[in-house]
Structure 1
């Protein structure tokens, strides 16, 4: 019960901090504000402002790419389900040592078999390739969007307010 309260508090905190910065889809995909930056300095300024301004939207982009990568990597899903399911099954149905023929099977031996089979399955599923694909594709999409979208008029006022504070 206590664990469920911690999870709900974490979700509520996440919603208040990260998802409160979500900008409307029409603003995020406003093609009227797209232009090529004049130089590297302009691109850097745009990236700096837009990554803060659209941080909630960019978080959703990373989450969507992560879900897509996981769904398209069937081997990784299978390996993770095997490991998590095996862990849950061992905890649920084999908490006590049991006699199987002439051998005594303990939780420790079951975990050993689970990891001896599961770790090569995970390695074969190439989780690092999936992770680097998510990182690379996220960087390309986020930095590309942030560099191409001109900051709105409100960016001028935020710089003035920051200078006065």
Structure 2
């Protein structure tokens, strides 16, 4: 029960901090403000402003790409389920050492067995290439969107507020 309360508190705090920064979809996909930057300085200014302004939306994009990457790599999904499920099962069902015939099975030996099987399985699932794909895909999408979208009129007022 305590774990459930902790999870709900974490979800509430996440919703208050990150999801409150979400901008409306109509503003995020405002095609009237899309234009090619004149030079690198303009692109850099746009990227700097838009990454701060749309940080919540970009976080959602990264989360969607991460879920897509895990779901399209079945071996990675199996390896993660095996490792997470193994940790949960060991913590729930084997907190104390148990006697099996002549052998005493401890939590340490169960974790060792989990790692001996889980780490090679995870290695074959290529999480490093999935991570780099996620970094590359999200970078292209976010930097492309941030550089092509002109900042709104409110960006002029934030610059004035920073000077004061």
TM-score (ref. length: structure 2): 0.91
Structure 2 equivalent of residue 41 of structure 1: 41
Alpha-carbon distance between aligned partners in 1 of 2:154 and 2:68, rounded to the nearest angstrom: 34
1:2 to partner: Cα distance: 4.1
Alpha-carbon distance between aligned partners in 1 of 2:161 and 2:88, rounded to the nearest angstrom: 54
Instruction: Count residues in correspondence.
Output: 164
Structure 1 equivalent of residue 72 of structure 2: 72
Structure 2 equivalent of residue 85 of structure 1: 85
Is 1:5–2:16 an aligned residue pair? no
Q: Deviations over 1:128-154 (max 9, x none)?
A: 111111111111100100000011111
Q: Deviations over 1:15-62 (max 9, x none)?
A: 222211211111111111111000000000100111111111111101
Structure 1 unpaired stretches of 5+ = none
Structure 2 unpaired stretches of 5+ = none
Provide the alpha-carbon RMSD of the alignment: 1.6
SS in 2 for 1:104: strand
Is 1:148–2:135 an aligned residue pair? no
SS in 1 for 2:51: helix
Structure 2 equivalent of residue 130 of structure 1: 130
TM-score (ref. length: structure 1): 0.90
SS in 1 for 2:46: helix
1:87 to partner: Cα distance: 2.0
Shifted more, 9-18 versus 29-38: the winner is 9-18
Alpha-carbon distance between aligned partners in 1 of 2:83 and 2:155, rounded to the nearest angstrom: 48
1:112 to partner: Cα distance: 1.2
Moved over 4 A (4+): none
